[in-house]
Amino acid sequence: MSQLFAIIVTYNAMHRGWIDRCMKSLAESTVPIVPIIIDNGSTDGTRDHVPAAYPDAVWLPQERNLGFGQANNVGLRYAMEHNADYVLLLNQDAALETDALEKMLAVSDGESLLSPLHLNGDGTRIDEMFRISLREAHNLMNDDMLIRQTLAPCYETGEICAACWLMPATLIRKIGGFNPLFFHYSEDNNYYHRMQYHGVKTLLVPNTYMYHDRQLQGNMQAFNRNRLRRDLLLSATNINWLAGKRCVRWLRTLYRCYTQDLRQHQYVPGAWLLEMCWLLCHLSRICTSRKIEKRVGMAWL
């Protein structure tokens, strides 16, 4: 039987009963899985509640907020050191359908990233941001639904939010963990760029679900904070692009900062200069990360 671990990064996870719903869904899974919970310095009682309520879970509280990517790296290291065959990344505000793991494992090729459909919290609609992820698989799924009136077991698609990723150990050994240059948001975009470079596919399993209790990107204040920096950094670290394309993308991002997206994304006037200075100060780290991520191996772990 495969050894499965679920990594859940918590930060004030008592909100709306998130952590209890998340853990309940794992406990009811038709495939046994060991939860690894990494707490990023919660102040709402999470640090008292979780180890008391779930003594069988691996509890790894951190002294400071590591951010999403680096906290997941802590869990990935633990899982790989304990002979994981698969690792599930699951957000604290998410819950799995009971047979989701069983259905994803049934179509796994042992190399590709897998994801169920992401629904909203009550399961009445597709998660709004997940709709974007459906673009590459959309036409094939429509053809199957409307013409053949049946869905395939899985569809190759593009980038999917890391709120629910089932990662084979083979994938982790090939790609590694999350880039520490990203604190919160965009680390999964960077990871997808690396998967593209190394020829790793993303498979959507359409006949099973995950429930994501959020609105759009979740915490909009956190999402908009440092967005310009993340956009510029994401272009700078993309190992699929040559220098010319990265420069063009920077110019487009800066132009957007000044024009139509100024109000929508809450960019601060003059922020472009500060963020370009930040990029230049971290240019050595960015260049090093590009070299590391082009190599096969467990980068950042």
* Domains of the chain from N-terminus onward: 4-221 (3.90.550.10), 226-294 (no CATH)
Q: What are the φ and ψ backbone dihedral angles of 209, each rounded to 5 degrees?
A: -135, 155
What pLDDT does residue 147 have? Answer: 87
- pLDDT band, residue 87 (cuts 50/70/90): very high
Dmax (CA) of the chain: 56
292 vs 141, which has greater pLDDT?
292
- Residue 82's DSSP bridge partners are none
The percent of residues above 90 in pLDDT, for the chain, comes to 69
Per-residue CA distances from 170 to 25, 85, 109, 166 (Å): 26, 8, 10, 12
Query: What is d(CA 184, CA 29) in angstroms, rounded to the nearest whole number?
Result: 28
CA proximity to 233, closest of 191, 270, 274, 275: 275
The percent of residues above 70 in pLDDT, for the chain, comes to 91
**Quick one: average pLDDT of 158-187?**
96
Residue positions counted in the chain: 301
> Do strands 34-39 and 4-10 pair parallel, antiparallel, or not at all (unpaired)?
parallel
Is residue 208 left, alpha or beta, with left meaning phi > 0 and alpha meaning psi from -120 to 50?
beta
Cα 141 to the center of its chain, rounded Å: 23
**Quick one: average pLDDT of 114-136?**
91
pTM, to two decimals = 0.92
133 vs 270, which has greater pLDDT?
133
- pLDDT band, residue 43 (cuts 50/70/90): very high
Query: What is d(CA 177, CA 186) in angstroms, rounded to the nearest whole number?
Result: 14
What pLDDT does residue 120 have? Answer: 95
CA proximity to 293, closest of 198, 154, 156, 183: 198
What pLDDT does residue 218 have? Answer: 54
What pLDDT does residue 244 have? Answer: 84
What pLDDT does residue 275 have? Answer: 76
> Do strands 202-212 and 113-120 pair parallel, antiparallel, or not at all (unpaired)?
parallel
263 vs 149, which has greater pLDDT?
149
What pLDDT does residue 262 have? Answer: 52
pLDDT tens by residue, 246-276: 888 877 877 776 665 555 555 555 666 777 7
What pLDDT does residue 217 have? Answer: 53
Q: What are the φ and ψ backbone dihedral angles of 287, each rounded to 5 degrees?
A: -65, -40
Question: Which residues contact residue 249 at a Cβ distance below 8 angstroms, ignoring those fewer than 6 apart?
Answer: 235, 241
DSSP characters for 206-245? EEEEEEE--STTS-HHHHHTTHHHHHHHHHHH-TTS-HHH
Instruction: Report whether pLDDT(51) > 70.
Output: yes
Query: What is d(CA 250, CA 257) in angstroms, rounded to the nearest whole number?
Result: 10
**Quick one: average pLDDT of 268-297?**
86
267 vs 11, which has greater pLDDT?
11
CB 7 within 8 A of CB 36: yes
Instruction: Report whether pLDDT(125) > 60.
Output: yes
Q: What angle do CA 225, 227, 233 make, to 5 degrees?
A: 130
191 vs 150, which has greater pLDDT?
191
Least confident of 28-37, 57-66, 219-228, 286-295: 219-228
CA proximity to 187, closest of 198, 203, 197, 176: 176
Per-residue CA distances from 38 to 5, 204, 218 (Å): 13, 26, 19
pLDDT tens by residue, 175-230: 999 999 999 889 999 999 999 999 999 999 999 999 999 875 555 565 666 778 88
107 vs 243, which has greater pLDDT?
107
CB 188 within 8 A of CB 161: yes
Cα 236 to the center of its chain, rounded Å: 19
Q: Provide the mean pLDDT of the chain.
A: 90
- pLDDT band, residue 28 (cuts 50/70/90): very high
